[in-house]
Structure 1
């Protein structure tokens, strides 16, 4: 291949996805080669560069191009789409055709394909990469337009001759001819030799250091090093093929290749879903399963919000507002749509402000997300396209969002599918002001709601907020635990089970039991069973009342250890709610809430007022403010951060402050002034404490302390707040002893510490079950932190582990002094700590650290805590 660089443009409009994030091991491991993927938002795939079409899949789902430098690019529309046998695809080019960048290659029916395929995710892969280096010109998570620069391909070395295989020199000497071996077989895979088996054949040749060829019955040959050549053979199930291997390990290579081709292929999706034991309930399952014990009248789903609800079942299926289908004046309809969008935006903003004022931060964040959807130019453009074609404003908006809803519902990503209820919410909200005159706005009769267990196929967040204070529980046929509705249900304490299936929608009962803790709905409990569940519910309520009554008291364990239970908050309003919930202080005030969602950075005065209000809300109890933590998943519109191939490992937190000293100094000044404003001369230490995020070593702590002293001197302030560090980076945990000699306190950020220790991005849904703070490797880092801090400074935990019932108790037994969690969990955690014998559990720590993984630790902890003889029995 030539040495000149090549720019590849996006072949369609879509969301950029890293290959490693694809739910396909062949593409994710780059077995076919390096590249990138797009989640399509168009229905035509175009050429990303000039070149020649060298292969068109017989099933029309993939095209391979050879660019003018000799690089062979596979464009594979969707995952496992070979199984569709061409259904939904139309090829627009032919093999041997010369094309230019932007030429339409294939058209696909996005809805049809999405409903049948594993995913629409489309890899773009350089299949004959040797000395080439690919540079990504767009960021994963970014939406790129068709034709926008996507990849830059550099030739780092001399390259390879066109058509040469990656292992072409494996058997180049003449004396290797004697080692050539052959084997004939019949292809057994139902889909023939497509991209996945082609990649595996190439890997087999590499692993055995041989030259491997496939010879079709008609004499055509392909080197296993060339994926496009293999695909061009057109081998299908039942095809006869001869394998030819040349090299010292030829027999072993033929054995592996023969096994691959002669074995019917199992879909990776199916394989990954095959249960080792009984299958776990699926949040996306369309059919509810009977209870494992086989009891009649029970449906099992997925717990979204725990608790027990008893009451009548009431169905909730409000129709969408009725809108005109067509309109004669597109200009007037566009104006009507604009007015409706502005009305809904104002309503959402008012709801967001109200949620913040009431301390419902989860709701506020959801309204923020809905505002972002509402302002999406692509949705607006799609609606206006329908309007231009003759639809009314309401119908145009409906159609635009309906297509996006259907795309998300067909997605292989649970996180994307969980966003469907947000889109349906916006669909309904905007259609309401556009509804026809006389449209009845009532959704459910008032007398049907009070005390009911609501049944619905799905429900939008705004619908839930409107009824949450009146219902006992909620059952949904669809939905998942990552949805915004699930978050709201947990925040409001409404028992909720999702994924109960279509069978749910036919149920009726005047006395049903929803055990949301275990994900079970009992629609026909007998009198004895009903009495048992009512007694259990009352017992739980009594425990909750007792915990709430004791929430303001200190938490002292059975063996006499006092544990500080603080709150994680994001504003002064939440700090007030935390004080009411019994918080012993604030263990984490996320100061970035002041900086996000603004056109410019907040002034020093604005920051000072908010910090002072948060301090006042706690009445002298300690308040730990985390200094501005941006970067990675938190970006500021008014601040251009340095580009990074992996933002989670780039400049974030403390690493950014040197680049933006004015922003940093302004925050320090505002905090110092707020601390002085509420300072009590009688207190030996200030309630304000400052915490540094993403600290890697002690030099960073020293630099911040110098800046703090300089700011205080300039302001004439003599009393300085305590300065602590977050332990989020493995190096900080391993160097805890040196940090502890200069830090005033530690706070372990278990979310980041876990992801960095396990090399698992906590935003990747597929890794969520494995990204566990109770993994022995993470626990060993926490133990190293505690050992390093011993005798020097206290250690708290402000990550999600503090709200994890199992992890929290274990961390306290290991020696953690403070747990900081969401305010709603404070009372319950204090009650659990009062029943814990930390010494008894601490004695089990060496045994737990020796286990294999987080799941094993959780199982052992659960067994110990559930044993009546254990000292921690509540």
Structure 2
């Protein structure tokens, strides 16, 4: 076969060569078969046992995982634990005398269809339902369950898409790269691949044509997959393998201007990894791990123990704690509505405190107690803030608990545009570039059809970053970035040039970002920012900056 290059969307940097291994075929749809009346009760009981088996397996995997992977598995486990699916399947067994596997298939289909009708992030949950369905059906029939294959050697994983439960089990020791036909650059697949240092290309139109066993060159920076690469390309890839960089804990431009490089942390194990990587602090401590996969809110004491475990890793250092970010793709029955027509634009983040102020109050009490018990410098910020009134309310709530450093996430165009007024109230802001991009470009971050839009290199997104930073500068307030954009070494100097004061990222990206910042002066960062803003497209912005940095 002659060399052929196909282009998708870059999702995780790196350039590797390897042989293709495809995800196993989906669990086959069971036939519609009727049971004898005398076997109905046993069949209904089998559904409940299989559902419990899947739930327990996912819960065990979630407990063993860390960071974002643990969050994802906890959400999937919670879905498997939801009695609605098993109860509906058991009803279909008893009333329609369907086989257990057919009843589960039909019950899951009804749930998935309901979620897809809601649209937005909730439609993406239909994929989780089908993943749980396949696992239960496999448990009932003895079929091969869904999961990442293990051929016994390193490989390039190719799939139509990866379910969150599969994404959470990616092993960087065996998976050289990931290529999918669906997804976007801020999907769970992309985020975890970047966190693990696995090159990834998503939304590749020709992914279905990649055959098992064939050799491909995956370029996660360019978003390309080359089939049957030449010997020269293979050798060039081997020579280009980047050496491991050391990270001193500091981000400094070539002329000595310091840029704070912090880590994103999702649980105590993630805090250990961040400290081991040399992070001087935490720019985003996601607290959802305490809440996900539960039917009720964790107690204050439970939260205090978990928060202290993270704060203890950074004595005397800053830890920015984000309050509960529930809603959209992270529904929690004790704070979010059961059904919303468009959850991405619904009750999420700080908005959940309107109906459930007690949940926020108890979390702030837990954070304050943990902060008093440890020596870390604790800042607190609220997600999904859009107005000055929301900001004032949150700042007052933090002050009531003795938490003076209260900030906000800027994730909507409204917050970016109003930053001058919002930061007159808040002590700081952090740009969540994943959601800011999604809302600015009206592009679902997990949808392959709009994946090309879902990049922070969009000039419109960069302009909002500039406006948000200018609003902070009016009051001398720091404005950081804690979205996936912070981990892009080519984009980091642009963000600094736009006025960003700190970058918080997966610990694995710290050394690479520090290495690029060390090659440019602060004035050159400003030049790069102007260069990016002057481009008409995201692709031209990215390529012009990359070319300029290489020249520098």
| TM class, shorter-length | 0.7 to 0.9
Partner residue in 2 for 1:749: 432
The correspondence for 2:58, drawn from 342, 348, 353, is 348
Partner residue in 2 for 1:814: 498
Q: Say whether 1:300 aligns with 2:3.
A: no
Rounded to whole Å, the distance in 1 between the matches of 2:291 and 2:129 is 27
Contact 1:351–1:364 (8 Å) recurs in 2: no
Rounded to whole Å, the distance in 1 between the matches of 2:454 and 2:20 is 37
SS at match of 2:520: coil
Q: Point out which structure has higher relative CO (alpha carbons under 8 A, 6+ apart).
A: 2
Q: Say whether 1:859 aligns with 2:540.
A: yes
Partner residue in 1 for 2:265: 569
Partner residue in 2 for 1:795: 479
The correspondence for 2:154, drawn from 451, 462, 467, is 451
For residues 369 and 524 of structure 1, do their structure 2 counterparts lie closer, same or farther at Cα, with a shift above 3 Å needed? same
For residues 822 and 455 of structure 1, do their structure 2 counterparts lie closer, same or farther at Cα, with a shift above 3 Å needed? closer
SS at match of 1:624: strand
Partner residue in 2 for 1:687: 377
Partner residue in 2 for 1:14: none
The correspondence for 2:442, drawn from 736, 760, 784, is 760
Matched ranges for 1:702-851 at <5 A: 704-712=394-402, 721-728=404-411, 733-734=416-417, 736-737=419-420, 740=423, 743-754=426-437, 758=440, 760=442, 765=447, 769-770=452-453, 773-790=456-473, 792-843=476-527, 845-846=529-530, 848-849=532-533, 851=535
Q: Say whether 1:333 aligns with 2:25.
A: no
Contact 2:183–2:445 (8 Å) recurs in 1: no
Rounded to whole Å, the distance in 2 between the matches of 1:710 and 1:583 is 31
Partner residue in 2 for 1:674: 370
- CA-based RMSD of the aligned residues comes to 4.6
1:598 is displaced (CA, Å) by 3.2
For residues 423 and 302 of structure 1, do their structure 2 counterparts lie closer, same or farther at Cα, with a shift above 3 Å needed? farther
The correspondence for 2:239, drawn from 526, 535, 548, is 535
Contact 2:253–2:518 (8 Å) recurs in 1: yes
Contact 1:353–1:364 (8 Å) recurs in 2: no
For residues 515 and 434 of structure 1, do their structure 2 counterparts lie closer, same or farther at Cα, with a shift above 3 Å needed? same
Rounded to whole Å, the distance in 2 between the matches of 1:468 and 1:750 is 27
Q: Say whether 1:372 aligns with 2:79.
A: yes
Q: Say whether 1:500 aligns with 2:182.
A: no
Contact 2:30–2:105 (8 Å) recurs in 1: no
Contact 1:386–1:399 (8 Å) recurs in 2: no
Partner residue in 2 for 1:557: 253
For residues 424 and 602 of structure 1, do their structure 2 counterparts lie closer, same or farther at Cα, with a shift above 3 Å needed? closer
Rounded to whole Å, the distance in 2 between the matches of 1:735 and 1:512 is 47
- The worse-fitting range, judged by mean Cα deviation, of 457-466 and 557-566 is 457-466
For residues 473 and 479 of structure 1, do their structure 2 counterparts lie closer, same or farther at Cα, with a shift above 3 Å needed? farther
Matched ranges for 1:178-257 at <5 A: none
1:385 is displaced (CA, Å) by 3.6
The correspondence for 1:612, drawn from 300, 308, 311, is 308
Rounded to whole Å, the distance in 2 between the matches of 1:472 and 1:735 is 44
Rounded to whole Å, the distance in 2 between the matches of 1:376 and 1:595 is 19
Which TM-score applies when normalising by structure 2?
0.78
Q: Say whether 1:430 aligns with 2:130.
A: no
SS at match of 1:843: helix
Rounded to whole Å, the distance in 2 between the matches of 1:519 and 1:835 is 25
For residues 788 and 490 of structure 1, do their structure 2 counterparts lie closer, same or farther at Cα, with a shift above 3 Å needed? closer
Matched ranges for 1:384-463 at <5 A: 385=92, 392-394=99-101, 396-397=103-104, 422=128, 425-435=131-141, 448-453=151-156
Structure 1's unaligned 5+ residue stretches are: 1-294, 680-685, 713-719
* Structure whose residues are more often helix by fraction: 2
Contact 1:309–1:472 (8 Å) recurs in 2: no
1:762 is displaced (CA, Å) by 5.0
1:840 is displaced (CA, Å) by 1.9
Rounded to whole Å, the distance in 2 between the matches of 1:612 and 1:794 is 25
1:337 is displaced (CA, Å) by 1.6
1:813 is displaced (CA, Å) by 1.2
SS at match of 1:473: strand
- The worse-fitting range, judged by mean Cα deviation, of 486-495 and 343-352 is 486-495
Rounded to whole Å, the distance in 1 between the matches of 2:300 and 2:472 is 34
SS at match of 1:617: coil
SS at match of 1:558: coil
**Larger gyration radius, structure 1 or structure 2:** 1
Which string of whole-angstrom CA distances, capped at 9 and with x for unpartnered residues, describes residues 341-390 of structure 1? 111111111111211xxx24235314523541674746763676468666
Matched ranges for 1:100-115 at <5 A: none
Structure 2's unaligned 5+ residue stretches are: none
For residues 480 and 376 of structure 1, do their structure 2 counterparts lie closer, same or farther at Cα, with a shift above 3 Å needed? farther
Rounded to whole Å, the distance in 2 between the matches of 1:801 and 1:837 is 20
Which string of whole-angstrom CA distances, capped at 9 and with x for unpartnered residues, describes residues 95-134 of structure 1? xxxxxxxxxxxxxxxxxxxxxxxxxxxxxxxxxxxxxxxx
1:581 is displaced (CA, Å) by 2.9
SS at match of 2:210: helix
For residues 367 and 490 of structure 1, do their structure 2 counterparts lie closer, same or farther at Cα, with a shift above 3 Å needed? farther
Which TM-score applies when normalising by structure 1?
0.52
Rounded to whole Å, the distance in 2 between the matches of 1:651 and 1:442 is 33
Partner residue in 1 for 2:88: 381
Rounded to whole Å, the distance in 2 between the matches of 1:696 and 1:480 is 27
Q: Say whether 1:582 aligns with 2:278.
A: yes
SS at match of 2:500: coil
The number of equivalent residue pairs is: 541
Contact 1:321–1:435 (8 Å) recurs in 2: no
Contact 1:489–1:495 (8 Å) recurs in 2: yes
